[in-house]
Amino acid sequence: MKKIYLDYAATSPTDPQVVKAMLPFFSQKYGNPSEPHWAGIEAKKALNEARRTVASFLNTKVEEIIFTSGATEAINLAHKGLIENYLKNTLFQKQKPEIITCLTEHKAVLEACSHLEKAEMAKINYLPVDKNGLLSLEDLQKAITDQTVLINIMYVNNEVGTIQPIREISKLIKEINLKRKKQKLPLIVFHVDATQAIQYLNCQVDYLGADLLSFSGHKIYGPKGVGGLYVRSGVKIVRQMDGGGQEGLLRSGTENVSGIVGLAKALDLINPKEGQKIKKLSQKLIKEVLMIPQVSLTGHLTKRAPHIASFLVKGVEGESLVLLLSDKGIAASTVSACNSEVLLPSHVLIAMGVSKKFIQGSLRFSLGKQTTEKEIQETVKILPSIINHLRNLAPKLTLD
Amino acid sequence: MDNFSNLYSKQVLDHFRNPRNMGEMKDPDATATVGGAVCGDIMRLFIKVGEKQGKKYIQDVKFQTLGCVAAIATSSIITTMIKSKTLDEAEKITQQTVEVSLGGLPPAKRHCALLAAQGVKKALDNYFEKKK
Q: What is the DSSP string of A71-129?
A: HHHHHHHHHHHHHHHHHTSGGGTTS--EEEEETTS-HHHHHHHHHHHHTTS-EEEEEP-
* Rounded distance between C-alpha atoms, residue A22 and residue A6, angstroms: 26
Q: What is the predicted pLDDT for the residue at A288?
A: 98
Q: Please report, rounded to a whole number, the percentage of residues in chain A having pLDDT higher than 90.
A: 92
CA distance linking residue A185 with residue A179, whole number of Å: 9
Chain A residues with CB-CB distance to B42 below 8 A: 394-395, 397
Can you tell me the distance from the alpha carbon of B15 to that of A386, in angstroms, rounded to the nearest whole number? 16
Which residue type occupies A248? G
CB A96 within 8 A of CB A86: no
Contact A144, A169 (CB under 8 A): no
- A253 and A348 inside one domain: no
CA distance A81 to A264: 25
pLDDT, tens only, A98-107 = 999 999 999 9
Question: Does B5 map to a domain?
Answer: no
Q: Is there a contact between B17 and A394 if contact means CB atoms under 8 Å apart? A: no
Say whether pLDDT at A399 is over 70: no
What count of other Cβ atoms lies within 10 Å of the Cβ of residue A236?
13
Write phi, then psi, for A4 (nearest 5 degrees): -120, 120
* Domain match, A96 and A226 both: yes
A394 at interface of B, judged by CB pairs closer than 8 A:
yes
* A395: nearest CB among B17, B42, B68: B42
Burial of B54 (0-12, 13-18, 19+ CB in 10 A): exposed
Cβ pairs bridging A and B (under 8 Å) = 76
A320 and B40 within 8 Å at the Cβ level: the answer is no
Q: Which of B116, B98, B132, B127 is nearest to B44 (CA)?
A: B116
Residue A329 within a domain: yes
A292 domain residue, yes or no: yes
Residue B2 belongs to a domain: no
| One domain, residues A152 and A124 | yes
Q: Residue A25 CB: number of other CB atoms within 10 A? A: 21
The residue from A247, A268, A289 where one domain ends is A268
Residue B35 inside a domain? The answer is yes
Position B2 scores a pLDDT of 83
Q: How much of chain A exceeds pLDDT 70, in percent?
A: 98
Active-site annotation of A, residues: 338
The whole-angstrom separation of Cα A136 and Cα A108 is 22
Instruction: Classify residue A140 as exposed, middle or buried by CB count within 10 Å of its CB (0-12, 13-18, 19+).
Output: buried
Q: How many CB atoms lie within 10 A of CB A130?
A: 14
Q: Given a cut of 90, is residue A342 above it in pLDDT?
A: no
User: Do A147 and A263 belong together in one domain?
Assistant: yes
Distance CA A298, CA A300 (A): 7
pTM over 0.80: yes
Give the active site residue among B112, B115, B116, B117: B112
Q: Are residues A101 and A166 in the same domain?
A: yes
Handedness of CA A292, A294, A298, A302 (dihedral sign): positive
pLDDT for A344 equals 82
Contact assignment for B19 to A320 by CB distance below 8 Å = no
Q: What is the pLDDT of residue B38?
A: 60
* Mean model confidence pLDDT for chain A: 96
Q: Whole-angstrom Cα distance, residue B116 to residue A312?
A: 26
State residue A336's pLDDT score.
Answer: 76
CATH classification of the domain holding A119: 3.40.640.10
Instruction: Give the three-class secondary structure for A130.
Output: coil
The residue of chain A with its CA nearest to that of B22 is: A393
Q: How far apart are CA B42 and CA B68, in angstroms?
A: 10
At A23 the pLDDT is 98
State the amino acid at position A26 in one-letter form: F
Q: Do residues A261 and A322 share a domain?
A: no
- Are residues A276 and A260 part of one domain? no
Domain that holds residue A104: 16-268
The answer as to whether A2 is a domain residue is no
Whether A89 has a pLDDT exceeding 90, the answer reads no
Number of H helices, E strands in chain A: 13, 12
Cβ contact B17–A336 (<8 Å): no
Please, where are the H alpha helices in A251-362? 257-268, 272-289, 318-327, 347-351
Q: What pLDDT score was predicted for residue A56?
A: 98
Average the pLDDT over A56-77 and give the result.
Answer: 98
**What is residue A6's three-state secondary structure?**
coil
In a domain, A255, yes or no: yes
Residue among A320, A343, A390 whose CB faces B108 most closely: A343
Q: Are A290 and A243 in contact (CB under 8 A)?
A: no
Does pLDDT of A315 surpass 90? yes
Per-residue pLDDT tens over the stretch A152-166? 999 999 999 999 999
At A339 the pLDDT is: 62
Predicted local confidence at residue A94, as pLDDT? 82
Q: Which of A268, A288, A304 is the last residue of a domain?
A: A268
User: Looking at the structure, do residues A210 and A279 belong to the same domain, yes or no?
Assistant: no
- Decide if B94 is inside a domain: yes
A77 and A38 within one domain:
yes
- The interface pTM score, or ipTM, of the predicted complex is 0.93
A358-378 average pLDDT score: 97
Spatial neighbors of B51 by CB under 8 A, at least 6 apart, are B57
Q: Is A334 on the interface with B (CB under 8 A)?
A: no
For chain B, residues with pLDDT lower than 70 are 1, 36-38
Q: Is residue B42 one of the residues assigned to a domain?
A: yes
Domain count for chain B? 1
What is the rounded CA–CA span in Å between residue A246 and residue A242? 9
Q: What is the mean pLDDT of residues A170-174?
A: 98
Closest-CA residue of A relative to B32 is A395
Do A256 and A314 share a structural domain? no
Rg, C-alpha atoms of chain B? 14
Q: Are B62 and B24 in contact (CB under 8 A)?
A: yes
Q: How far A222 CA lies from chain B's nearest CA (Å)?
A: 25
Would B3 be classed as within a structural domain? no
C-alpha span between A337 and A314 (Å, rounded): 15
For residue A356, the model assigns a pLDDT of 86
Range of the domain at B26: 10-127
Radius of gyration from C-alpha coordinates of chain A: 22
Q: How far apart are CA A108 and CA A122, in angstroms?
A: 16
- Asked whether residue A179 falls in the same domain as residue A212, the answer is yes
The candidate with the shortest Cα–Cα distance to B67, out of A63, A361, A202, A148, is A361
Q: What is the CATH number of the domain that holds A283?
A: 3.90.1150.10
Q: How confident is the model at residue A91 (pLDDT cuts 50, 70, 90)?
A: confident
Average pLDDT over residues A352-360: 92
Query: Is B4 a domain residue?
Result: no
**Cα distance between residue B85 and residue A150, in whole Å:** 64
- Do the domain assignments include residue B101? yes
Would the CB atoms of A316 and B68 count as touching at under 8 Å?
Answer: no
Backbone torsion region of residue A62, taken as left when φ is above 0, otherwise alpha when ψ lies between -120 and 50, otherwise beta: alpha
Which string of DSSP letters, residue by residue, matches A138-176?
HHHHHH--TTEEEEEEESB-TTT-BBP-HHHHHHHHHHH
Q: Report pLDDT for A348.
A: 97
Q: Which of A233, A268, A303 is the last residue of a domain?
A: A268
Q: In sequence order, which residues have a C-beta less than 8 Å from that of residue A306 and are 6 or more positions away?
A: A200, A275, A276, A278, A279, A282, A367
A352 close to A129: Cβ distance less than 8 angstroms? yes
What is the structure's pLDDT at A1?
86
Number of structural domains found in chain A: 2
CA distance B54 to chain A (A): 33
pLDDT of residue B36: 63
pLDDT in the model for residue A9: 97
CATH number at residue B65: 3.90.1010.10
Whether residues A388 and A326 share a domain: the answer is yes
**Shortest Cα distance, chain A CAs vs residue B24, angstroms:** 8
